[in-house]
């Protein structure tokens, strides 16, 4: 028996892109024993977005196997058995601690090393911790982060133990807004804290943010803006968090703290071995890295975004994880046949769902913005949106509360980038502009 496990293709990471890459390999045709997925997680690839939404609900929460890939984009669900049936070797609970691209070897802390001919790096991101900002948190219990299902399970245990307690949410980005809503639905007394003037500043305009902030306030969520956390006071008897100290001197009571202050692509295994750019692993339009036979997909890839003059971009969203994985596998298979596939022409797409709300964004959020529609948070069914206009063209569109048809229309606008014309008129036309494109 060889000391190493040898595979033609190895996917490192068992998240969203790994699952969609496996599906594409199966579609293109692979022999039994050619493909391995190596994952630190204990379960087969799943749709990560569920963790901050339906997974946390108090009533009929979503549980595996419900949200294994590839169900998130309307496909067949791949339970653990799918991999066995399709001859894919799925190594779970296996964390790679060393990667040597020169000898094409991945070594776990324990157990046999993996040898590959082609590697797809799909390690995703890890959470940024408050301790990264020098905040002491290690010895305080009930401070949670959310990335993997094991993190979500710990949070759920605490939700059950601290029923109707007080939750402080640190961060006003995706995790903050989604988990803040989930904690409120779980009947917690919720306070959100973030340093910026408005929530989700990397996408939301002040007008968009104002709607969500009022909506949250109406739901009973308290929002503390323009300050950050500086420390925690634990309960001296059990070490559980009791108070959250803020920079502005305020002190908030807390039974549970959930932190969402950003993510960082997991590239550390490959430092110095592969070219990087903008914090990620640099790839071409086929997600091939600077090392032949090594591809990088999902959150870790910095790739040329064709619709933005091939500007190098990294995207930390699920739609991109799925599509970049498919592109890489198609490119690998085509190159084996001496063929070339089309370059990746991605239309950025982000979304979120909180309470009864649901928004989508397509395109590029550059340039001037204008808002349209009913953005009254007290309306029964608010529906509003925003256009981003750059060099006279509509480059990005946001829509809250859209129907399937309307969402398709805004995607089309972001793709075609029509002339915006007079901005006041455009604001007046609102969604009807998109529906006529």
Residues in touch with ligand NAD (CB under 6 A) = 52, 125, 133, 170-176, 178, 194-196, 228-229, 260-263, 316-317, 350, 352
d(CA 219, CA 228): 23
Q: Which does 96 bind (CB under 5 to 8 A by kind): ligand NAD, ligand FDA, none?
A: ligand FDA
Minimal distance in Å, beta carbon 312 to ligand NAD? 17
Nearer to ligand NAD by Cβ, of 262 and 343: the residue is 262
Binding mask 319-348 vs ligand FDA (x if CB under 6 A, - otherwise)? x-x---------------------------
In the range 59-98, which residues lie near ligand FDA by CB under 6 A? 95-96
15 scored as a contact of ligand FDA (CB under 6 A): yes
d(CA 426, CA 278): 35
Closest CA to 306 of 343, 272, 332: 343
Nearer to ligand NAD by Cβ, of 33 and 226: the residue is 226
7 scored as a contact of ligand FDA (CB under 6 A): no
d(CA 103, CA 294): 12
Closest CA to 228 of 352, 148, 132, 353: 132
- In 308-374, where does DSSP find H-type helix? 318-336
Burial pattern 1-39, b for ≥16 Cβ within 10 A else e, equals eeeebebebbbbbbbbbbbbbbbbbbeeebeeebbbbbb
Q: Which of 11, 39, 171, 191 binds ligand FDA (CB under 6 A)?
A: 39
Q: How far is CA 154 from the centre of its chain?
A: 20
> Under rule CB under 6 A, how many of the chain's residues touch ligand FDA?
35
Minimal distance in Å, beta carbon 68 to ligand FDA? 12
Q: Which stretch binds ligand FDA (CB under 6 A): 80-88, 135-143, 314-322, 404-412?
A: 314-322
Minimal distance in Å, beta carbon 327 to ligand FDA? 13
318 scored as a contact of ligand FDA (CB under 6 A): yes
354 scored as a contact of ligand FDA (CB under 6 A): no
Q: Which stretch binds ligand FDA (CB under 6 A): 8-16, 180-188, 332-340, 360-368?
A: 8-16
Q: Which does 194 bind (CB under 5 to 8 A by kind): ligand FDA, ligand NAD, none?
A: ligand NAD
Binding mask 127-166 vs ligand FDA (x if CB under 6 A, - otherwise)? -------------------xxx------------------
d(CA 25, CA 88): 10
Collect all residues with Cβ–Cβ distance below 8 Å to 230 and sequence separation of at least 6. Answer: 135, 245, 246, 247
369: part of which helix (H) or strand (E)?
A: strand 368-374
Q: Which of 204, 350, 372, 398 binds ligand FDA (CB under 6 A)?
A: 350
Nearer to ligand NAD by Cβ, of 186 and 228: the residue is 228
C-beta of residue 362 within 8 angstroms of C-beta of residue 375:
no
Q: How far is CA 400 from the centre of its chain?
A: 19
Helix axes 16-28, 318-336, angle to 10 degrees: 30
Q: Which stretch binds ligand FDA (CB under 6 A): 208-216, 242-250, 350-358, 425-433?
A: 350-358
Nearer to ligand FDA by Cβ, of 52 and 142: the residue is 52
- Three-state DSSP state, 232: strand
Nearer to ligand NAD by Cβ, of 133 and 366: the residue is 133
Q: How far is CA 295 from the centre of its chain?
A: 20
Give the largest CA-CA distance in the chain: 73
Taking the alpha carbons at both ends of the chain, their separation in whole angstroms is 62
Which residues here bind ligand FDA, judged by CB under 6 A?
13-18, 38-41, 48-49, 51-52, 95-96, 122-125, 146-148, 266, 269, 298-299, 316-319, 321, 350-352
């Amino acid at each position: 028996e060889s000391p190493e496990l040898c595979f033609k293709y190895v996917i490192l990471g068992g998240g969203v892109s790994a699952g969609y890459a496996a599906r594409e390999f199966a579609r293109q045709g692979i022999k039994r024993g050619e493909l391995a997925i190596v994952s630190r997680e204990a379960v087969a690839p799943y749709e990560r977005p569920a963790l901050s939404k339906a997974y946390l609900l108090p009533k009929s929460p979503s549980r595996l196997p419900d949200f294994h890939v590839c169900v998130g984009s309307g496909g067949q669900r791949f339970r653990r058995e799918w991999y066995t049936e399709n001859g894919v070797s799925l190594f779970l609970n296996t964390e790679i601690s060393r990667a040597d691209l020169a000898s094409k070897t991945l070594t776990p802390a324990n157990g046999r090393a993996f040898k590959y001919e082609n590697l797809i790096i799909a390690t995703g991101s890890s959470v940024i911790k408050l301790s990264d900002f020098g905040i002491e948190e290690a010895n305080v219990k009930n401070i949670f982060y959310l990335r993997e299902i094991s993190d979500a399970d710990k949070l759920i245990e605490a939700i059950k133990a601290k029923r109707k307690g007080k939750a402080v949410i640190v961060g006003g980005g995706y995790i903050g807004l989604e988990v803040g809503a989930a904690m409120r639905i779980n009947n917690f007394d919720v306070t959100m804290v973030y340093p910026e003037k408005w929530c989700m500043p990397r996408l939301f305009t002040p007008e968009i943010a104002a709607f969500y902030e009022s909506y949250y306030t109406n739901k009973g969520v308290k929002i503390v803006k323009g300050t950050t956390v500086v420390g925690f006071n634990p309960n001296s008897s059990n070490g559980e968090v009791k108070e959250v100290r803020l920079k502005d001197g305020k002190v908030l009571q807390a039974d549970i703290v959930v932190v969402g202050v950003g993510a960082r692509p997991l590239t550390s295994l490959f430092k110095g071995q592969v070219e990087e750019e903008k914090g990620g692993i640099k790839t071409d339009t086929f997600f091939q890295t600077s090392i032949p036979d090594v591809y990088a997909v999902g959150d870790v890839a910095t790739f040329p975004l064709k619709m933005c003059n091939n500007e190098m971009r990294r995207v930390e969203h699920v739609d991109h994880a799925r599509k970049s994985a498919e592109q890489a596998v198609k490119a690998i298979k085509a190159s084996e046949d001496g063929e070339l596939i089309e370059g990746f022409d991605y239309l950025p797409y982000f979304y979120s769902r909180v309470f009864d709300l649901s928004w989508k964004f397509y395109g590029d959020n550059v340039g001037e913005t204008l808002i349209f529609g009913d953005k009254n948070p007290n309306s029964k069914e608010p529906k509003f949106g925003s256009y981003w206009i750059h060099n006279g063209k509509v480059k990005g569109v946001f829509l809250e509360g859209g129907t399937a048809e309307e969402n398709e229309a805004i995607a089309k606008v972001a793709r075609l980038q029509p002339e915006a014309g007079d901005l006041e008129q455009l604001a007046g036309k609102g969604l009807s502009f998109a529906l006529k494109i």
